[in-house]
Structure 1
């Protein structure tokens, strides 16, 4: 059981390292990508070494869970057989001792009347039955506890395997989205991601960006509002909503969203000068101040 627990912790540690590596790779890639290309065309996880590392970790983690399940089943089976063997041996020894006792007191039976002998037999049988019943109850409780623990660990392993499959499938969909040629194709892929993981804020934000590319400004605005209802500090969603407001001619609201987006994600400031969706804001005093601050930071 200790070995199984250690293996479980090791597998969970691998999973956490995988998740942390993926998370930090996304965070660290944002500033560089933002400064070299448009936000709506930025690559995601387009690194062969990172992809190789993630796939190797997924394969190793799945193998660890499968090995753990096999060892757990073998260990539980061995323990059940050992407990059953000990139980039978204990019962055999107990019955043998009873026979020794009966043989030892056989010489006294002649001095005991028939009634006393019957009572003795009855009491002996009753005592043996109670003892055996107590032993059976104790081992039954142990078997129930072992079965419950095995089911719990099997359920955890199954859930983790399903989560790994989801992560792998979503990763492949992101790679497909990166290689898609049209916004419509990317929107279909983002919808597939949302079917697997409903409410994925990143997928919704990228879907809003694709909607902007096909001039569906109201749709993009609605998607951004869904994201911000869950996370009002989401910088990319605020930026996309600002672009939608700009295209719809709502300048003040667009600039307000840009200011908030820069507060939560300072790297967004570098996108302002070259963003085509913000062209209508040029000449606005507040927007020009944001551009000036961006140039000063450079």
Structure 2
């Protein structure tokens, strides 16, 4: 496979997502699938109330169609689509309950974890099948040839990777175009990384994600005409985590997606500090809101985070190339 195939895959996904916009957005309007804005968020975000959400369905459809068209039918392709669609459906259920059933919290934490665990078990089952029943699972240590053997305990590590990644990615989805742009950088770097390691199906999937997110960004950039909702953010997180698993770079994902990690850490630090000391470290968490409340415009925050994501993703790619 040559790089031209990656380019065509990305363009195809971009085109599909772009064409879906004028169809999906009016439909979401008619169905009254409008975003509700949390009261404790920045006050100027309240004007976004009613903007259609669940736009992640556009991303999902574009990725599914292009991956099935260009990627080879393999277990890797099946695992990528299972994780992306599986976590996307969990997000869809969460969005549906919030919007249609008028329950602000959506799925409970226990319900989410149960469903995420189910997807994880299915993925692990496919990995066992791919290995012919072998239990020789290991965790690859970045910048070394060392592999930490963990055997069947890998399923617990897999659950941590999947749940941790999806939650971190989900927390980053708080400003117009923020997650879309950051995810494009990470998937683009992973497309190159997977190509270098001849994981061609993974590379094609990443290219499809880049294109789909790019097409969606045309409608999601500030001021956003549509939001992806948990349907999109959980699908992106599930797909990204599985890419790291199939390229044996689960720990390196921390560096590739460092922006997502920092966003999640900012929430954890804020909660711990407030509950322990009664003080807030940040003006508001996740971190992007801290900068907003510090006087930065939404577009300034988004551009800086995009740049940071690019540096982290491609800096890690350069680091691992040596």
- Global fold match (TM > 0.5): no
TM-score normalised by structure 1 residue count: 0.28
Larger Rg: 1
Q: As a proportion of its length, which structure holds more helix?
A: 1
TM-score normalised by structure 2 residue count: 0.27
